[in-house]
Structure 1
Amino acid sequence: METPKYLIGRQPILNRQEQIVAYELLFRSAESKSAASMKSASQATASVIMNTLSGFGIKEILGDKQGFINVDVEILMNNAIEILPKEMIGLELVGNILFNDVVIDRCRFLKEMGFVIALDDRDYTPELEEIYRLVDIIKVDLMQTPAEKLSTVIKELKRYPAKILAEKVDTNDAFNNCAKLGFDYFQGYFFARPSLIEKKRIDGYSSAMMQLLKLILADATFTEMEKVFRNSPALTYKLLLLVNSVSVGVREKIRDVRHALTILGRQQIKRWIQLALFTTENSQDIESPLVEMATARAGFMEQIAMEHPVLSKIHSAPDQAFMVGILSLLDSIYQVSIEQIVADLNLSDEVRSALVTRQGVYGKMLELTEMMERLELGSAAIGLQELGVSLDGIIASQIKSLSSKVI
């Protein structure tokens, strides 16, 4: 019998500074359109315990972050779970577990082993006091807990040593409200909602980056690009930092901006510009959930283009797919529509229509990638297969996109 194939859902967990501190990992059967039932979820978790160690690879999925996997009582009580590396994988106890003395003793044993334990969303009840005192994280589902009861719930839970996580935080207002109430962690894509999130409009630094992208798409010379740097000290500084980080072993000292551009090459410059559009002039670095999301999205679309039976034969297709993926999130950074963002860029008709109307093969790929981000993994897999991409290709593309760096 063929071994079931599972796609990876990776939803970020953020702290109060909107920095990613962990991921919740979900695994769905690639052959199924529907979300996993509790029985199949248990089977998926059991397979994940093996695949995470061998097939998937923890470092490839998580990088330097912690990951949480859902466990039901069957998996929780199975000794096989103890093979997981406790310094990287935390255990999330699903909501249907009944906490009798045997189960609580098992949780205490796993915690003493060093596992971080999270309690999945359920209504607050004093009868769970013993488990509240034992777990490290308590999750509160904003969809299940009425807004008027949140302050009471958080007040009760703050009596315990566990950190409190707000789940399904889908707007910036919800994030701000939960932060004021005292939540420690947040889960949901509130940071990627352009109509709700408040970010800076395109400032001088970002405008220069857009100008650079336009020039490189038009095959401008390095001399033409150099002029943009003359008006932006911050841009020049970041360019030199980039050269130092990617050109280890280059013996000659950088003479000027044009020399730095020559060392990098056009492909590296283009990738850097695409990623740097997610920063502002005052940014200290590019460590943000949107950057990670954009990088994974763009990398996945690039890999899918390489697997596509038609696009794989077109030299520029992977690069165009990458472009669609990374530009598709720019309206989440700036209070500017995607139509306005792409208006002045020299983009191909295929890329433009994919970004604005989700039309064409790249538009379909973008829609399916967004479905995977929403954890609609089974439906997305079916759609990708309809594009002619094999399940093995989809899974391999996921791993590469989660583990790859843009530069």
Structure 2
Amino acid sequence: MSSMSEPSVPAPSPTPEDNSADNLAVIARQAIVDEHRAVFGYELFDRSTASYAHSADSDAALLFNALSYIGTESLVGQKLVFINCTHESLSGGHLELIHPEKVVLEVPALPSEATAQDIQAQLPVLEQLRRQDFRLAFSEQVLCPAYLSWLALASFIKLDMTTFAVEQAPALVRFAQEHSSARLVAEKVESAEQYQLMSSLGVRLFQGYWFAKPALVKAHTIRPSQATVIQLINLVRKQATTAEIEELLKKDPTLSFNLLRFINSSGFGLSCEITSFRHAVMILGLRKLFRWAALLLTTSRAGGSSPAVGTMAVVRGRLMELLAAELMPPEECDNAFVVGVFSLLDTMLGLPMDKALESLALPQPVVDALQHNTGPFAPFLALTKACESGDEVAFALNAEELHLSNRQVNWAHLQALTWAEGLDAP
């Protein structure tokens, strides 16, 4: 069976900047077929970077690109999507954005040095995903005694043909059939003999080079400025009205394009097309809108900056907000958040800070802190930077200037890191 062709994806005309490698979403898909060789689903792999290292960030980026940039109708049609996950990503808030009927989460076994307690500790996360109606796929390792607590949660068990001898196949398949209700997938099938063996044992789903090699699907991404995404995060964080959020979406066509593209994807599970910004915001709700914006921020790159820069900016914003709450009224705490979250804007956009701030209407005290390190927010920003760098002298001086104790600052820093790690909605 030959590999699938690469579909073209309609999108607004790319700018010259869009033609860079950073603005190209590349996803490999490999078919999973049934006994009649009809496509049952596709396993997706992120190929947008030179490194294929698997991480929680790559999981999030893969789902985001698949749903937002490439359009799931041309990528997978109405078929199931199988996504390899890390255990870190399985507890990530981005899964709230995905319609569980469309996605199968492939759950890896833990490292070989994992203890029985380690394996058991993952069970609550897996059980919660099942309660949310996600289907879980496991490797043949789930058939080992140590993993039997996971076995009842399996919707699919993938049997890697390279991990066991041919003569072990009958016992392996029989054990899986007797001790679970999961559908079995023979994986890495590379010959007619392997296919015939597994088929004779009752396996009905297959994946491997003998059926189809992975095919690449590419699309140019159209990314909003990270400053705009941060503005959206701040609006949602303050529980702004739908009209206020709609106004921001109207100011940035690429942001609104990404949102409408995402919410109308088949992975989101809606039966009608959403064409209004206001309707999109109402359908998503503030919590999911925050998740989407945070994922857009952390999976995008601008001016060559790392997604980690966006996360650091969010940590700064939250830390400054918490520190300001000890000394300032609520409206000033909001401005402190803006100072922190925009303090890395020059790095994210690859521009001097004054240029980066030109298009934003910010209060003068915010501008003073960001551009000149002056005004009421400057000591908070200096203290925040000292927390990051571990500069004990700067930490002590700035904490003393603000009359904050070490305990107050350290607790706020921990809270900010925890808040930003999951990018949880308030």
When normalised by structure 2's length, the TM-score is: 0.42
Structure number, greater radius of gyration: 2
Tell me which of the two structures has the higher relative contact order, counting C-alpha pairs closer than 8 angstroms and 6 or more residues apart.
Answer: 1
When normalised by structure 1's length, the TM-score is: 0.44
